[in-house]
Chains A and B, each alone.
Chain A
Amino acid sequence: MTTLTQTAVRPRATTAPQRVRRGLSGKVASAAAIVIAVLWTTPTFGLLLSSLRPEDQIKSTGWWTFFSDPQLTLENYQQVLFGTSSSSGQMASFLINSIVITVPSVLLPLALATFAAYALAWLPFRGREWIYIGIFALQIVPLQMALVPLLSFFSQGVDVFGVHLLPAWDLEGSGRFVQVWFAHTCFALPLGIFLIHNFMAELPGELMEAARVDGATHGTILRKLVLPLVGPALATFGIFQFLWVWNDLLVALIFAGGTAETAPMTVRLAQMAGTKGNEWQRLTSGAFVSVVIPLVVFLSMQRYFVRGLLAGGVKG
């Protein structure tokens, strides 16, 4: 009905987009869209509200009771972040681990992928097609396939027919971060090189040529010319890698161990969900702490992320 009236009232000189809107997004569609948006937001909202409610209340009544009996506290956060008893969560410690793990695990692949992508896009050497295809194909290898051998590489070194080629790393304590950085860097490279290469290959060749004629070295071209131009691609891959590393459970579980010394928040949360599945006040506030940093990063960088996603995934 509404659609009909609108069509009748509006002047005929409407643009195509407006016509589509009337056709596909009438009142019913808008209502359905709102319903989906509410459905998608409610679980997270429930978590946030729960994490702020007093312990006995979380455990006995639903979070929606808040609206009839509003009581909020920061007690849960204080306990889960700074409590020192082993049952409390010790999240502050794991939060620091997450940061220590993430920073180098984003920086290293970003730099190495940029170098490799530059060589593959702009250096005319024989066999570069093959190297590129090889790296691209490595995206096929699920990281599950690499875990067992990589772990034994760290713990036992490399032996070929009884000859000790590389010693074991035998990392202890905070040294184990190195393993996690190493693993994340390896696993990130195929996608990183692929994304950045695609972007770099589209830069105008005359630009590089002109710089080279002027006597610039590859190092200078990379720093002064290419880096500023591929900023968006670097941002996209950087966000991708940040989210992936920050949210990762599998790699951390295997290479960082499960202690407050090196394990990130995801590992701790998974442990808490397993052993203290009913301590909702800690689970909810802990989960929210782990969620808030990627959410902030994601929200502030969403624009770049979406742009890069679309450049890599689909055209148009």
Chain B
Amino acid sequence: MDFDFAAEQPKLVQLLIGVAAFLVVVAVILLLVDRAPMRRRAWTHATILLLPAVALLSIGLVVPAVRTTLLSFMSGDGMRWVGLDNYAWMFTQPEALTVLRNTLIWVLLVPLLVTSVGLLYAVMVDRTRFESLAKSLVFLPMAISFVGAGIIWRFVYAYRADDQDQIGLLNQLVVAMGGEPQQWLQESPTNTLFLIVVMVWIQAGFATVVLSAAIKGIPAEIVEAARLDGASPAQMFFRVTLPSIRSAVVVVAVTQSIATLKLFDIVRTMTGGQFDTSVIANEMYNQAFRYGETGKGAALAVFLFALVTPIVIYQIRQRREVR
């Protein structure tokens, strides 16, 4: 039970080195910029300021992305070219198809649920007395890691045999209502839905905050005019609120789809991808880092890239429209 502080020392030394490196980098860049006379062309200064970022981006993202694309056409050990074999595997093998099916369910459901729950909640708490507290409560899970959230929800879903006391909240409710306790995370395809609940739980607060701000931005005159015309709450929502905040709704839905496509941690913590719950990002990790099938992993990553690209481009155009 004794915690050995001495054993932790190398880490703290490493931390000091890291912070010192940070200070040195900042100092050197500022010094160089100060030394380069202002009469010099802007290029000199720009190079000094941009070089570290551009170099890191090249090493960390550009070159790797190109290499991954090449790897996706090679065998698992990266020794010979196999053409489109990895892609063929992805679209034909049953286990890979399950992964694609799950990813599709995730990407369809998460943005839809997150946006609707967030919108509903934002409209409901709008201008009530406890608004800021209510929003904070729903916003809190944003700070919790997907791993932490996974554990919180595994506990909610926990299963005990019929003759024992239930320790999971959900099964307790089921038993209280006279039902049989269920193994929520083991039955496909419903288990994917139970994982999706976790994602919605984490992200709904984000949607609430963004949409709530958009609702507050609706000009008071419009609202007043609709009121005077005798609009019912439902008409108010569908004819006034929703059209006025359309762009914010799109922003939320788009960010959610991107986050969902890259999702990895929830699946890994809660089921490890077993019981037919794996998604692209999780399978990519398994193939590349556990089974040594770099080619297949790379093909999945490239596919992910292909899925994300149109969404991001759409987001960029949307953003420009908003501005």
Contact = CB atoms under 8 A, between A and B. Distances in A.
Given A104-B15, A150-B64, A187-B60, A111 B220 contact: no
Contact of A115 (B2, B49, B69, B165): B49
A145 B302 contact: yes
Interface in A15-39: 15-21, 23-26, 29-30, 32-34, 36-37
Nearest to A41: B137
B323 interface: yes
B101 interface: no
In this complex, the member of A79, A287, A314 whose beta carbon has the largest number of chain B beta carbons within 10 angstroms is A314
A174 B262 CA distance: 29
A186 interface: yes
Contact of A104 (B19, B38, B231, B289): B19
B248 A222 contact: no
B140 A295 contact: yes
Interface in B133-180: 134, 136-148, 150-156, 158, 164-169, 172
B60 A249 contact: no
A174 B285 contact: no
B251 A314 contact: yes
A225 interface: no
A235 interface: no
Contacts of A125: 41-43, 46
A230 interface: no
B62 A138 contact: yes
Interface string A77-89: 0110111100000
B65 interface: yes
Contacts of A93: 3, 7-8
B227 A16 contact: yes
A249 B151 contact: no
A112 interface: yes
Interface in A133-166: 135-136, 138-150, 153
Nearest to B280: A144
B19 A123 contact: no
Given A100-B11, A108-B25, A218-B38, A24 B236 contact: yes
A21 B65 CA distance: 51
B243 interface: no
A42 interface: yes
B224 interface: yes
Contacts of B288: 147-148
Of the four ranges (under 10, 10 to 19, 20 to 34, 35 or more), the interface on chain B belongs to 35 or more
A145 to B, nearest CB: 4
Contacts of B59: 150, 153, 186
A150 B62 CA distance: 10
Given A270-B268, A295-B143, A297-B143, A185 B56 contact: yes
B80 to A, nearest CB: 17
A173 interface: yes
Interface string B251-290: 1000100000110110011101000000001001100110
Given A46-B155, A270-B147, A119 B167 contact: no
B13 interface: yes
B247 interface: yes
Contacts of B71: 148-149
Contacts of A92: 3
A113 B56 CA distance: 11
Interface residues of A, number: 138
B209 interface: yes
A107 B19 contact: yes
Nearest to B323: A315
A16 B22 CA distance: 52
A139 B255 CA distance: 12
A309 B209 contact: yes
A96 interface: yes
Given A29-B124, A37-B138, A140-B305, A177 B18 contact: yes
B210 A309 contact: yes
Contact of A314 (B69, B213, B300, B313): B213
Nearest to A183: B60
B22 A144 contact: no
A97 B125 CA distance: 40
Contact of B42 (A124, A291, A316): A124
In this complex, the member of B26, B150, B152, B308 whose beta carbon has the largest number of chain A beta carbons within 10 angstroms is B152
B53 interface: yes
Contacts of B140: 40-41, 44, 295, 298-299
Contact of A294 (B120, B125, B144, B312): B144
A116 interface: yes
Nearest to A97: B11
A280 B34 CA distance: 57
A316 B126 contact: no
Contacts of A150: 59-60, 64
A89 B101 CA distance: 36
A115 to B, nearest CB: 4
Contacts of A199: none
Given A104-B18, A135-B57, A17 B220 contact: yes
B57 A190 contact: yes
A123 B21 CA distance: 26
Interface in A252-289: 253-254, 261-262, 266, 269-270, 273-274, 277, 280, 283-284, 286-287
B305 A273 contact: no
Given A142-B301, A270-B268, A316-B217, A46 B34 contact: no
Nearest to A298: B143
Given A142-B262, A247-B146, 9 more contacts: A43-B201, A93-B7, A112-B25, A125-B46, A138-B62, A144-B304, A174-B13, A291-B145, A310-B209
8 contacts: A41-B140, A78-B1, A115-B49, A116-B49, A190-B61, A270-B150, A284-B151, A287-B152
